[in-house]
């Protein structure tokens, strides 16, 4: 069916802007291999003028507020143009200072402001609210917000908290304190990104108080490797500190007394510590509870009684019960009584309401507040309970400090007891459903119980409704590339609610009344008249059917478009691969599609050979519509790999494959490869590794191999002090082509004169690999005068890594072989120090008639400016996955100049630069990803230059057998988003300061 809206859009845009100069792409023609056919864009590029980038700062519509370059205007003019020789050469601009890690070194360090608000002791509004992190994917612990007029408290900050708050317009800038109920990836996975976001807000940035048990120091030390210290100066741990002295051990009661953290006129927040009951013989704990700033302390070595490092009690085992007590609500003032006691209306009325006694105006008496005030009402009390295991439960049942909140056997409250208003249970359903836990809940009398742990009854309700809505619409248009989200297939999951639980210890007389938490459920604390549950903010659940009905009403022609797309997968495969598309009315204006020829690696390809799943396609920080970087390489029966692992990667896997399917995917991971240390590329790593550890703890297995820049090892080493990640690390520099060639050469040279029993000098071997003739010219060619632009890839000595490289390279080779891969090769790119791209090459295969068929090749750019290393690595790639952080509007040249300028300042690529890199390398297909959050739904594009290219969306799944079809779908995507091509700045654009702070991402 013809799509007039699609084919005419380009013309309409030009008619709107007739006086503006045409699109002016930057020249990359000198990077092109000689023997490749040129695309239309290449021809256009070669016919345009060559220029040095960046252009002058002139006439940038809507860019004055957006320009967040790390360089001044004068610095950019000095840095971007490359040195030239007597023979003029075209050049590609880049920020050399940023590539060297020096772009911020000359700026004063931020002294992040800690918010100090004037409190309102007579709060008119106060409530606790469930923030739905983890409720549809079961990947993190839900967060809870305690809200006051002038203060906000967040309990737990799991992955996805920022996306949830952005979606529901909960302003993170208003948060004053963050409390962790445990210190682990489940409860704190979103903390690094949140701290970075807060540090970038406004001109000066801001900080926030972070509280947690003593193990918080391990997390803080790990985050230091990529988060500025200024963002962590207000992290405070509490409770007994672990020590190596095991001579004595305090009993449980010595660290179960409440530790008061905050006590002001608004709220008193105390912490009660829980440890697993089986750890009574664990390492010594100092008897005096203390509060410390973990950023000022080093890590303690902990020893078991035999003198060996490690212990029964691990960091992260400690759990916390938080007690939030609001001040009492004073009784109502009675003016009639005041008059009868001789008081005149005026300031003395106020004094009495504040609790002060005054002298009567007409009588010789003192008037006390109790004389004119009604009876006070005790302030509401909220408990947040995190009891993660049965071992913690045994300890919970013995906590004496909670006895003041219990009712007696008849259900009456003792005279000295305090009434608990609401208890939010963060404990898992497996613990809550037990009879012991249920009996413990009953001891609080009439308290309202909210079950906010992993409640399976809510998993089919998507937390991120905006993202789920787009996923459903994409699925309707093209289910082959956009499968139905996994959470909508979970309605049949078995769930045993506490009400139906049984126990061998005997039935519970009457189970507590409780409700399962839902997204944005509130429990109102003030005003007192409204005390209780408030369901008004709970989002309405939307089914796929409702979303599609809305879509068809909004865009009626989408029905025909979906039928057109479905035809791409019908008919014979041979026809689909070889027939010209000129007969299609949709593509009559796209003759360039005829030049596509099928690569040899796709001959008789199987659908269970490879699937590329784009889990996160945005940059900087998570947004409503796009999560941050992560690519899942699904090799089906042969396992899987992850390329980058930004925050929320596990949640995205579970949304794509469902809870059980994602567990299987994590269980069968062969390797995780990280491009560089920026937070949007690796902060989801700990959660993935922790889950894999738990899934395989009862099964013999090898630690997972993580390949990344050397700075990542510092983070992982420090984090492993907190919880075991069950991984081994390999520096990207050991997986470059030069290093791998030298490694293979050494293996070959030692085959004949060595035996398995022969000792191998690993350090000498690795030094040969790194310092041999194949790698000796790397440093000396960086930015050499007269040379074309080179990547920044300094190679400082790293003896510890060198010593470990040889055996781990053998492990990598084995893992790749089991996955059916011939090679994983990292290559340096231009972004920041130690930034890499990667090429994956599949092994050759033999078809049914004995013909050798070459393996496919996938190249992922990481974050980078266009550079020769990327061109070389992408030569002949089956798929090039290229970042395109900055998009150029084709008809607006001045806007294009501004985007190129900003892309250079941050060492990113524009959309058209990414396309031209793929054309230069002769890549068969190009997938553009890592979009700036300026384009939350879809970038504005012109399919004229997209003959082998497609725009990536979260959850997009590209099977290798469907690559010939990939570009054909692009015009229909434009139709799907025809009413959403222009960004709603008030809703979707991320503020520049926030976008810039994520270490440039």
**What is the distance between the alpha carbons of residues 961 and 963, in angstroms, rounded to a whole number?**
6
pLDDT of 454-481, one tens digit each?
A: 766 667 778 888 899 999 999 999 999 9
Confidence of residue 330 (pLDDT cuts 50, 70, 90): confident
362 vs 769, residue with greater confidence = 362
Give the mean model confidence (pLDDT) for residues 243-271: 70
Please check whether residue 200 is in contact with residue 998, taking contact to mean a CB–CB distance below 8 angstroms. Answer: yes
Percent of the chain with pLDDT over 90: 47
605 vs 788, residue with greater confidence = 605
3-state secondary structure of 153: strand
**What is the distance between the alpha carbons of residues 363 and 361, in angstroms, rounded to a whole number?**
6
pLDDT of 277-313, one tens digit each?
A: 765 444 334 434 445 554 443 333 333 433 333 345 6
Question: Highest-confidence range of 27-31, 367-371, 703-707, by mean pLDDT?
Answer: 703-707
DSSP readout, 200-217?
TSTTT-EE-EEEEETTHH
Q: How far is CA 422 from CA 271, 325, 515, 689, in A?
A: 16, 11, 11, 35
501 vs 643, residue with greater confidence = 643
630 vs 97, residue with greater confidence = 630
Give the mean model confidence (pLDDT) for residues 868-872: 96
Confidence of residue 585 (pLDDT cuts 50, 70, 90): very low
Confidence of residue 121 (pLDDT cuts 50, 70, 90): low
Question: Which helix or strand (DSSP H or E) is residue 740 part of?
Answer: helix 737-750
Phi then psi for 445, rounded to 5 degrees? 65, -120
pLDDT of 139-180, one tens digit each?
A: 888 899 999 988 999 999 999 999 999 999 998 888 999 999
Residue 583 has a pLDDT of 35
Domains of the chain: 335-371 (no CATH), 604-748+805-963 (3.60.15.10)
Q: Identify the weakest region by mean pLDDT among 574-588, 604-618, 644-658.
A: 574-588
Give the mean model confidence (pLDDT) for residues 15-31: 36
| Mean pLDDT, the chain, whole residue set | 76
Residue 76 has a pLDDT of 36
Residue 717 has a pLDDT of 93
267 has a pLDDT exceeding 50: yes
**Percent composition of the chain: helix, strand, coil (DSSP 3-state, to 5):** 35, 15, 50
Q: How far is CA 768 from CA 433, 742, 744, 761, in A?
A: 60, 8, 12, 11
Residue 120 has a pLDDT of 67
Confidence of residue 110 (pLDDT cuts 50, 70, 90): low
Shortest CA distance to 931 belongs to which of 614, 484, 620?
A: 620
Q: How far is CA 822 from CA 356, 750, 801, 851, 877, in A?
A: 81, 21, 24, 18, 14
Residue 901 has a pLDDT of 84
Shortest CA distance to 387 belongs to which of 103, 657, 181?
A: 181
Report the chain's terminal Cα–Cα distance, integer Å. 41
């Amino acid at each position: 069916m013809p799509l007039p809206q699609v084919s005419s859009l380009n013309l309409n845009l030009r008619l709107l802007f007739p006086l503006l100069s045409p699109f002016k792409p930057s020249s990359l023609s000198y990077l092109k291999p000689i023997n490749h056919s040129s695309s239309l864009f290449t021809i256009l590029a070669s016919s345009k003028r060559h220029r040095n980038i960046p252009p002058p700062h002139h006439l940038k519509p809507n860019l004055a507020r957006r320009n967040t370059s790390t360089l001044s205007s004068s610095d950019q003019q000095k840095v971007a143009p490359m040195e030239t020789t007597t023979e003029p050469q075209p050049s590609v601009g880049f920020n050399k200072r940023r590539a060297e890690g020096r772009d911020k070194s000359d700026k004063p360090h931020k002294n992040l402001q800690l918010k100090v608000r004037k409190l309102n002791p007579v709060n008119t509004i106060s409530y606790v609210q469930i923030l739905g992190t983890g409720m549809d994917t079961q990947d993190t612990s839900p967060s809870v917000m305690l809200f006051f007029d002038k203060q906000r408290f967040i309990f737990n900050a799991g992955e996805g908290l920022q996306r949830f708050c952005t979606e529901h317009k909960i302003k993170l800038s208003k948060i004053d304190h963050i409390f962790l109920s445990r210190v682990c990836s489940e409860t704190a996975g979103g903390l690094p990104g949140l701290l970075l976001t807060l540090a970038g807000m406004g001109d000066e940035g801001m900080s926030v108080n972070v509280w947690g048990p003593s193990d918080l120091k391990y997390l803080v030390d790990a985050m230091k490797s990529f988060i500025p210290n200024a963002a962590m100066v207000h992290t405070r741990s509490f409770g007994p500190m672990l020590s190596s002295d095991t001579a004595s051990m305090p009993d449980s009661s010595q660290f179960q007394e409440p530790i008061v953290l905050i006590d002001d006129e608004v709220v008193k927040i105390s912490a009660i510590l829980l440890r697993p009951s089986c750890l009574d013989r664990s390492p010594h704990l100092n008897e005096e509870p203390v509060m410390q700033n973990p950023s000022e302390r080093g890590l303690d070595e902990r020893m078991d009684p035999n003198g060996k490092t490690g212990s029964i009690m691990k960091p992260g085992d400690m759990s916390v019960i938080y007690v939030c007590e609001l001040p009492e609500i004073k009784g109502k003032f009675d003016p009639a009584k005041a008059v009868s006691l001789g008081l005149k209306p005026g300031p003395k009325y106020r004094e009495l309401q504040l609790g002060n006694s005054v002298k009567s105006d007409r009588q010789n008496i003192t008037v006390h507040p109790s004389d004119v005030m009604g009876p006070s009402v005790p302030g509401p009390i909220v408990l947040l309970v995190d009891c993660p295991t049965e071992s913690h439960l045994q300890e919970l049942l013995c906590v004496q400090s909670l006895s003041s909140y219990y009712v007696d056997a008849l259900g009456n409250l003792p005279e000295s007891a305090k009434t608990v208003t609401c208890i939010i249970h963060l404990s898992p359903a497996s613990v809550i459903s037990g009879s012991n836990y249920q009996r413990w809940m009953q001891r609080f009398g009439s308290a309202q119980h909210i079950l906010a742990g992993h409640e399976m009854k809510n998993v089919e309700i998507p937390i991120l409704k905006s993202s789920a809505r787009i996923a459903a619409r994409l699925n309707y248009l093209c289910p082959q590339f956009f499968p139905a989200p996994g959470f909508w297939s979970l309605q049949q999951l078995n769930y045993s609610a506490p009400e139906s639980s049984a126990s061998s210890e005997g039935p519970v007389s009457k189970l507590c009344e409780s409700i399962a938490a839902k997204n944005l459920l509130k429990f109102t604390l003030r005003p007192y008249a409204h005390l209780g549950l408030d369901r008004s903010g709970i989002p309405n659940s939307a089914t796929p059917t409702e979303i599609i009905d809305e879509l068809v009403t909004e865009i009626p022609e989408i029905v025909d478009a979906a039928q057109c797309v479905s035809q791409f997968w019908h008919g014979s495969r041979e026809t689909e691969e070889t027939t010209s598309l000129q007969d299609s009315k949709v593509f009559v204006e796209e003759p360039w599609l005829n030049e596509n020829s099928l690569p040899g690696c796709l001959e008789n390809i199987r659908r269970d050979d490879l699937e590329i799943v784009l889990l996160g396609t945005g940059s900087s920080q998570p947004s409503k519509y796009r999560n941050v970087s992560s690519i899942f390489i699904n090799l089906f029966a042969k396992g899987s790999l992850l390329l980058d692992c930004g925050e929320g990667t596990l949640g995205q896997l579970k949304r794509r494959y469902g809870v059980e399917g994602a567990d299987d995917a994590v269980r069968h991971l062969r390797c995780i490869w990280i491009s560089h240390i920026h937070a949007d590329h690796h902060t989801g790593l700990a959660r993935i590794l922790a889950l894999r550890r738990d899934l395989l703890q009862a099964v013999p297995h090898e630690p997972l191999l993580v390949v990344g820049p050397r700075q990542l090892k510092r983070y992982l080493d420090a984090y492993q002090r907190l919880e075991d990640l069950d991984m081994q690390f390999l520096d990207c520099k050991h997986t470059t082509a030069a290093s791998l060639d030298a490694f293979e050469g050494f293996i070959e040279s030692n085959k004949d004169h060595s035996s398995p029993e022969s000792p191998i000098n690993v350090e000498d071997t690795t030094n040969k690999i790194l310092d041999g003739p194949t790698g000796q010219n790397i440093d000396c060619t960086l930015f050499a005068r007269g040379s074309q632009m080179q990547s920044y890839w300094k190679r400082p000595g790293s003896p510890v890594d060198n010593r470990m490289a040889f055996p781990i390279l053998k492990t990598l080779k084995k893992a790749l072989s089991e996955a059916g891969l011939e090679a994983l090769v990292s290559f340096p790119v231009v972004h920041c120090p130690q930034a890499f791209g990667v090429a994956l090459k599949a092994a050759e295969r033999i078809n049914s008639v004995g013909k050798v068929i070459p393996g496919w090749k996938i190249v992922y750019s990481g974050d980078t400016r266009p550079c020769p290393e990327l061109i070389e690595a992408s030569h002949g790639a089956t798929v090039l996955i290229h970042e395109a952080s900055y998009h150029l509007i084709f008809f607006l040249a001045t806007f294009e100049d501004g985007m190129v300028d900003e892309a250079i300042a941050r060492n990113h690529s524009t959309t058209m630069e990414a396309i031209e890199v793929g054309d230069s390398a002769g890549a068969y297909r190009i997938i553009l990803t890592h979009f700036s959050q300026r384009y939350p739904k879809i970038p504005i594009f012109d399919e004229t230059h997209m003959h082998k290219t497609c725009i990536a969306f979260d959850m997009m799944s590209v099977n290798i057998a469907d690559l010939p079809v990939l570009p054909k779908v692009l015009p229909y995507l434009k139709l799907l988003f025809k009413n959403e091509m222009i960004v709603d700045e008030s809703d979707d654009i991320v503020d520049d300061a926030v976008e810039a702070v994520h270490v440039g991402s």
